Amino acid sequence: MSKQHAGVILRIYPGSLAEELELVPGDKIVSINGQELRDIIDLSFAMADEEIDLLIEHADGEQEMISFDKEFDEELGVEFESAVFDGIRNCANHCYFCFVDMIAPNMRGSLSIKDDDYRLSFLYGNFVTMTNMGPADFKRIEQFHLSPLYVSVQCMNPELRAQMLRCKGAARIAEQLDNLERAGAEYHTQVVLCSGLNDGEELERTIREIVARRPHAQSLAIVPVGITKYRTDPFPLEQFDAQGAARVIDQVEKWQRKIQQEEGRTFIYLGDEFYLLAGRDVPPSDFYDGFPQLDNGIGLTRNFINDWEAAPDQPDVYDEPVYLDVVTGTSVAPMLQKLAASLDKENLHVRIVPVENDHFGHTVNVSGLLTAKDIMRKLDSLSGKRTGILIPESALRSGEDVFLDDVTLQQMQAHYPAARVEPVQGGKDFRAALSGWTSYHKDRSGETAYTWQSNAGYTKNIQY
């Protein structure tokens, strides 16, 4: 078996079966009960047996067979280097709007992976285009009940989809969705909306056809295309402006009202960016039907506000003035300003610091793609007292104290010796930091964070 096809153990959970079996990080799981494993989906099915023959390859290349009995629902308790042991499936497309192609040269490798792997869609909520999927994949989806999946639809017009994805096979979107439905899978869908391309009448058609696919289709998210200054694709793309965003909101609201009347839920959600761009309030919580596409960034702003409103004020009394700089992307700065202003705390001075994204270009306005260099450039340009600096945790690599440009949180802290630098994730943290700065400290160990993924979405990192 090739090196690729074994599950390499990264971490052993304390008190787990794996610890009892004396497995260590670096060990590879080669097979279970003679069955080779393609990914953690195979592993979890193989581990459903009560009698296990586990073939391990140790770091020195020695193989060992470990046989043991277990409860049928007992898990190994390990984390793997990758959830897919036979390698991530790459995408077969060259989309006009591919964000991976717009990443600055020299950025971290993990940001440049063009994955299009239905297994990662099932496991982590990554969006897939299904252009690289064949009958065996749908058979496996049916056999292993891999549902729901997350599908990047973009548009239902076959010719336009093939054109936008620069992939002939992309025209088969309706057929592939039919295959998914026949395999018994439900799916959430996404449209990356490009002004003048798949909006207007094309969006109307896409919505109509996806809506008709309920209940297999569980939701439809529409997000505006993001463009960085590194985009070299010759096809001209434009980002939405305030009027364009307002037009999309008005168009989609008609559908939302119709579906609300039909089945009491919204089903179609717009990326927060449309509301922020158009200068409109984000919809209320119940509009989001439990936030099915929160990991895709849909409803993050409302969620942030909810968390803020639900969180208690900390009882800290500030005897001395506290000066906090709140670093943020430009799009949500007004919302943070509003929330901070609603807090009535003596001696608390909050300054919202919207940072222009020089690294990716000023059209990129989200907090999660800010680099440490841009943040520090902005902070260095400001005068005045500073007790603390709040940075958006989404700008840090998941589970690590490292920014996108490889600057560490510690390096940033060393640059500002007179102020304490603390990451903040969500409205609860934000309120806790502002109202209880003296005791606020964010312990990031074991955090489940959002990371940017290839098809302009955000995905949550989970562990097996």
Q: Can you give the binding site for ligand SF4, defined by CB under 6 A?
A: 91, 93-95, 98, 100, 114, 116, 129, 454-455
Residue 167 and residue 152: Cα distance in Å, rounded? 14
Q: Compute the least distance from the CB of residue 355 to ligand SF4, in Å.
A: 26
**Residue 434, C-beta contacts closer than 8 angstroms, at least 6 positions apart:** 324, 340, 343, 345, 348, 350
Q: Compute the least distance from the CB of residue 380 to ligand SF4, in Å.
A: 35
* Beta-ladder partners of 187: 149, 217
Residue with smaller CB distance to ligand SF4, 98 or 155: 98
Residue with smaller CB distance to ligand SF4, 394 or 454: 454
C-alpha dihedral, 459 to 283 to 356 to 440, nearest 10° = -70
What distance, in Å, lies between the first and last C-alpha atoms of the chain? 23
Neighbouring CB atoms inside 10 A of 156's CB total 23
Residue 409 and residue 415: Cα distance in Å, rounded? 10
Q: Compute the least distance from the CB of residue 461 to ligand SF4, in Å.
A: 18
Q: Compute the least distance from the CB of residue 98 to ligand SF4, in Å.
A: 3
Residue with smaller CB distance to ligand SF4, 17 or 160: 160
Residue with smaller CB distance to ligand SF4, 92 or 211: 92
Residue with smaller CB distance to ligand SF4, 435 or 454: 454
* E strand map for 153-248: 187-193, 217-224
Residue with smaller CB distance to ligand SF4, 332 or 364: 364
Residue with smaller CB distance to ligand SF4, 100 or 155: 100
Query: Of 118, 19, 17, which Cα lies nearest the Cα of 69?
Result: 17
Q: Compute the least distance from the CB of residue 281 to ligand SF4, in Å.
A: 30
Q: Compute the least distance from the CB of residue 192 to ligand SF4, in Å.
A: 8
Residue 131 and residue 126: Cα distance in Å, rounded? 15
* Token pair recorded at residue 407: 């600057």
Residue with smaller CB distance to ligand SF4, 111 or 419: 111
Q: Compute the least distance from the CB of residue 286 to ligand SF4, in Å.
A: 32
Residue 91 and residue 106: Cα distance in Å, rounded? 21
Query: Of 290, 278, 289, 284, which Cα lies nearest the Cα of 302?
Result: 284
Secondary structure of residue 135 in the 3-state scheme? helix
Q: Compute the least distance from the CB of residue 137 to ligand SF4, in Å.
A: 16
Residue with smaller CB distance to ligand SF4, 120 or 339: 120
Q: Compute the least distance from the CB of residue 368 to ligand SF4, in Å.
A: 17
Residue 164 and residue 229: Cα distance in Å, rounded? 20
DSSP state of 397: P
- Write the burial class of residue 209 (CB in 10 Å: 0-12 exposed, 13-18 middle, 19+ buried): middle
Residue with smaller CB distance to ligand SF4, 117 or 272: 117
| Centroid of chain to Cα 333 | 21
Residue 6 and residue 120: Cα distance in Å, rounded? 17
Which residue, chain included where needed, has tokens 């005791």?
439
Q: Compute the least distance from the CB of residue 371 to ligand SF4, in Å.
A: 21
